[in-house]
Amino acid sequence: MLLYKLFLFCYPKIAKLLGLFNPKAKQWVNGQNGVWEEIDEQQIKLQGQPTVWIHAASYGEFEQGLPIIETIKLKYPGYKIWLTFFSPSGYLHRKNDPSVDVVTYLPFDGPKNAIKFLNAVNPKLIVFIKYEFWFYYLSEAKSRGIPTILASAIFRPNQIFFKWYGGFYNKMLLLFSNVLVQDKESYHLVESIINKRVLSISGDTRFDRVVQTATNISSIDWIHLLSNDKYIVAGSTWKEDELILSKTAAHFTQFNWIIVPHHVDPKNIASCKSIFPNAITLTELLNNRIQQTKPIVLIVDRIGILRTLYQYAFVSYVGGGFGTDGVHNVLEPAAFSKPVIWGQNDTKYREAVGLREHEGGFRIKNEADLVMHLNEFIQSTNYYEKVSNNARIYIQNNAGATTKTMSLIDGYLD
């Protein structure tokens, strides 16, 4: 408890200091400074109607929770959804999201904030997505008899819960009314801490999300400006990915290479163009509207279209696997039943490990690995179709977590 209180004391001060140099930290500090004013303004939208509070740490967790949110709205139209974020990346991208009624930052944890926030929202049910454990919010909810669900959670042996000094965090897990984990490994890790009556395996709602996205995907109107040659779509790339991709693209000029950097600010786009000197940006393509008769390298300098682009891929590449953060979302491209390739740092990502174990995707260590896989796909149509089918089966076999989660939520909202 002492360490947690020290964390709560130090975190805002460190964030304020970092905000002098780090835009994301500054955004968080500014968000916290204005959070109560925003909550007072947004509270009007509740109109005294019953409310479900959904908390997502950031944008990725929101995507994970979206199938649950949409199902609640469909089944229980009389309920309002109040969505909170901890991270600016989630809040700034989704503060006007039409799938929910209210979006705010979560006021930083503390006894006074927990009481004040729960008084404002007065939720009938609280759902935390995947992780984030805020002691005062959870303990205040428990004292009020408000059910709390941790959905699509995943646990690893190196987490604080399983250390000799993790007793306080174990107590936080016990504050949840129900804990739904993604897999058997997570279940076995926490079954000695949590009563099995409130612990169950639900799967990962991200599989439902990508199935939904792939099923309802729209087309891209400018894609016809590219040549009719096959596409390699590389999404969420970092410099380390782009260096490998540029060398590989030189071996496979018969493909259109579509590069979607993780950050699309002018500085990062300029860096990407320096790695692909003959590339053009999407903005340049749209400004000129010239039909391309030969394959090109296209750098996408706009946000929000990556998941739509994956539908056109012959092979998809997902970035992040050569950095410390690890590989990004491999499920979105796999949902289109095409092979997926990524970098070597994937061991913390259950979905990436699962996809390669089912031979629907592959991790690489270098340019030679990427060249090898592309050659295999080109040389054998049967092999390419087998890998594509494996990706499809992996996604389908892991879908259904939303239904399992909703069977629990129904018991609280009916």
Does 402 or 96 have the greater pLDDT score?
402
- What residues does CATH 3.40.50.11720 cover in the chain? 2-203
Assigned architecture for domain 2-203: 3-Layer(aba) Sandwich (3.40)
- The pLDDT mean for the chain works out to 94
What is the average pLDDT across 35-46? Answer: 92
For domain 219-398, give its CATH number from 3.50.30.50, 3.40.50.2000, 2.102.10.10, 3.40.50.2300.
3.40.50.2000
* Helix residue ranges per DSSP H, 252-400: 266-275, 282-288, 306-309, 331-334, 350-357, 367-379, 381-398
The residues pairing with 363 across neighbouring beta strands, listed in sequence order, are 342
What average pLDDT does this structure show over 151-167?
Answer: 90
Share of the chain above pLDDT 70, in %: 100
Confidence of residue 340 (pLDDT cuts 50, 70, 90): very high
Query: Does 325 score more than 80 pLDDT?
Result: no
Q: What 8-state DSSP symbol labels residue 203?
A: -
**Strand (E) positions, 99-204?**
102-105, 125-129, 148-153, 178-181, 199-201
Question: To 10 degrees, the CA torsion angle through 187, 191, 196, 198?
Answer: -70
Of 6 and 233, more confident: 233
Residue range 405-409: average pLDDT? 96
Where in the chain are all domains bearing CATH 3.40.50.2000?
219-398
Residues 306-326, mean pLDDT to the nearest whole number: 94
The H or E element spanning position 313 is: strand 313-318
* pLDDT tens column, 244-277: 999 999 999 999 999 999 999 999 999 999 999 9
Give me the amino acid identity at 56.
A
pLDDT for the residue 89: 85
Band of the pLDDT at 62, cuts 50, 70, 90? very high
pLDDT exceeds cutoff 80 at 2:
no
